[in-house]
Chain A
Amino acid sequence: MNALNDLGLIIGISLMYAAPLIYTALGGVMTENSGVVNIGLEGMMTIGAFIGATVGYYSGNPWLAFLCAGLAGGVLALLHAVACVTFSADQVVSGIAMNFLGPGLSLFLSRVFFEGATMTKPIPLDQKMPRPLNGVFAQNSFLDLVFNQYATVYLAFLLVFIVWYILYKTKIGLRIRAVGEHPRAADTLGIDVYKVKYLAVILSGVFAGFGGAAMSLAAVSNFRATLISGQGFIALAAMIFGKWTPQGSMWACLLFGVAQGLVVYLGGTNIKVSSQLLAMIPYVLTLIILMSFVGKVTGPAANGVPYEKNKE
């Protein structure tokens, strides 16, 4: 029974860890399939986490907060799109700018809304994201440990399916991928390349904003400047690891989550391994699997190349 509970604990931690990463990685999948690199996901997550926590605190409505977080990420992504799509700016440089802008703006606004404090006030438990299966199973039983998750966790997996469906089963998905592979060909066939890229980039910001809110409205209940520290980049890595597909990215995020779950579990057992070594496991494991199983990964052909209509 104890082994089962330990397993439940690891799975539960994996899911909690993976959910924010999945949202953000899906954002990466969207934008990069349309040929725009977005390393600003971290910044968009940060602003999403901040707006989520702030709206959540003042309105008491987690769903409104979640949507606003997506909106905030989307607005930041719009700036990225203007720079990269309309003005053909260097996409990496613009992404770096987003990573400065997101946290900077969050801190500035935090001071405005919270009497000069650089962290938001905690949201009471009953105004956080709901846990649909809370209390259904006995506390700390296997099923409780695995399934007693916040709604954001379930939504993340739903979104994986939705993004997969859009990208591979709908006309707009085909267009997004066409624009990412060969924009000129798509253009000659009458697709508005700019419009498609704008849509994909903005959606990536919205998803990253959701990812941030999954941290600040579910994993914890407040925002502080260090809440998002590296998740955006891990999600980016997970997306590449997952070969630019939604389902692949999801597995990569889950793998990372499982590794973190193992770290926490092993750190709590009597096996005496130094915690510094344990803390390396998720990253080392990712590297090993990337090198040995995944093989050559190729992204969209025109990824990162600005498209200019009248230039050959």
Chain B
Amino acid sequence: MQKKIMAVVMIAVLALSLAACSSGGGGDKLKVTMVTDVGGVNDQSFNQSAWEGLQKAGKDLGVKVSYQESHQDADFVPNLETALDAGNDLIWGIGYKLGDPILEAAKKNPDTKYAIVDFAYEDTPENVVGVVFKQEQPSFLVGYIAAKMTKTGKVGFVGGMEGDVISAFENGYHAGVEYANKVNGTNVEVIIQYAESFTDAAKGKAIANSMYQQGADIVFHAAGGVGDGVIEAAKEQGKFAIGVDRDQNYMAPDNVITSAMKRVDVGVYNVVKDLKEGKFPGGTTVVYGLEEGAVDIAPTSDKHVPKEILDEVEALKKDIIDGKIEVPFNQETFNDFVNSL
């Protein structure tokens, strides 16, 4: 008896799942979904930001939006399959870790469009678009602020792991300090150290403590979870820290003076808008920066940073958008930048 019931249930499940497959693809509303990185959709970081951008697209552009959460790297591929079966027109991968899974899926399903945040392919298929951000631009701005606000003449940078993205943060920041030195005739020094981790908060704290002991009074981090330790050190020592990716002032309202923000939501929204208007930039990597409003300094900066410095930052933004200042993003361009000052 029990076996029979089991059999019936199994058949019912199979039938349902078949029905689920065949129901995809229909409807005339554009369907867009995103597959998150392991942080999940409420990670208060770039996954959440991406989802906010998608929700805005849903509201403003009348597209149907949804998300698939990943909890470990092994979830990426099945989640992409699910997204495909649901008949989505555009599938987002949020974060560089989804780079390879997205490429695989895109090659297998040339009729579906894919997009990825923080990843640039060397050879992008026609149905894929890579979205990257000029993180060096907001880093330049916070570097300028740091150089103007330091009282000790020393500022710090804590990086996560060496790589293109973090290197852009580092060199942008360093260039911002050098630029401020040149313009204001100061001689602010930058101490740079990498944690070789994105998770070891204790190491972030140790490095920041070491920098404060060496006389730095402002430390900028681009190091994920390691940054929690950096901000904690600032809190304990009564020094300053600069946040990253989003406005981190809430972590230590008295100590985080500004943050170098990356507006993933703006990037996601823009690409969906392009798709809706039939201008999907497939086969390319789009680069978003200050011009598109996709990177910026934190809105709470005015709590700690004096107005005249913020005014100068506004002028700098304009210069960067106009191309008068080209912010370096790696060692080579940094050297050129410093030589041209």
Contacts and interface: CB of A to CB of B under 8 A. Distances in A.
Contact of A122 (B38, B71, B200, B252): B252
Contacts of A299: none
A220 B193 contact: no
B224 A268 contact: no
A264 B42 contact: no
B237 interface: yes
A105 to B, nearest CB: 13
B205 A260 contact: no
A227 B205 CA distance: 13
A277 B222 CA distance: 20
Contacts of A224: 225, 228
A115 B41 CA distance: 12
Contacts, number: 101
A282 to B, nearest CB: 10
Nearest to A229: B199
Interface stretch (A5-13, A33-41, A59-67): A5-13
A238 interface: no
A221 B228 CA distance: 8
A221 B235 contact: yes
A94 B74 CA distance: 22
Interface string B4-36: 000000000000000000000000000000000
B54 to A, nearest CB: 16
Contacts of A118: 39-40, 42-44
B43 A16 contact: no
Given A220-B229, A224-B228, A226-B199, A268 B193 contact: yes
Contacts of A139: 237
Most buried by B among A111, A125, A276: A125
Given A139-B237, A265-B210, A276-B162, 11 more contacts: A20-B202, A107-B40, A116-B41, A117-B43, A140-B212, A225-B38, A263-B203, A264-B206, A268-B193, A275-B195, A278-B196
Interface string B174-204: 0000000000000000010111111111110
A119 B236 contact: no
Given A140-B212, A225-B39, A219 B205 contact: yes
A23 to B, nearest CB: 14
A222 interface: yes
Interface in A221-241: 221-222, 224-227, 229
Using C-beta atoms within 8 Å of the partner chain, give the interface range for chain A.
Answer: 35 or more
A222 B190 CA distance: 28
Taking each of A12, A20, A224, A276, which has the highest tally of chain B beta carbons within 10 Å of its own beta carbon? A224
A261 B203 CA distance: 9
A186 interface: no
A139 to B, nearest CB: 7
Nearest to A6: B213
A244 interface: no
Interface residues of B, number: 41
Interface of B: 38-44, 71, 162, 191, 193-203, 205-207, 209-214, 224-225, 228-229, 232, 235-237, 250-252
A278 B203 CA distance: 13
Interface of A: 5, 9, 12-13, 16-17, 20, 107, 111, 115-119, 121-122, 125, 139-140, 145, 215, 219-222, 224-227, 229, 260-261, 263-265, 267-268, 275-276, 278-279
Contact of B207 (A20, A145, A226, A264): A264
A22 to B, nearest CB: 13
Contacts of A229: 199-200
A267 B39 contact: no
A16 B206 contact: yes
8 contacts: A118-B39, A118-B40, A125-B236, A140-B213, A215-B202, A260-B202, A264-B203, A276-B196
Nearest first, the 7 A-B pairs at minimum CB distance are: A279-B196, A226-B199, A116-B42, A275-B194, A13-B206, A226-B225, A264-B206
B236 to A, nearest CB: 7
A9 B225 contact: no
Nearest to B225: A226
Contacts of A115: 42
B201 A220 contact: yes
A140 B44 CA distance: 34
A219 B201 contact: yes
B196 A220 contact: no
A275 B251 contact: no
Contacts of A17: 202, 206
Given A122-B250, A226-B225, A9 B202 contact: no
A107 B41 CA distance: 12
Given A229-B199, A268-B193, A119 B209 contact: no
A125 B194 CA distance: 26
A264 B210 contact: yes
Contacts of A111: 42
Nearest to B204: A220
B229 A219 contact: yes
Contacts of A221: 232, 235
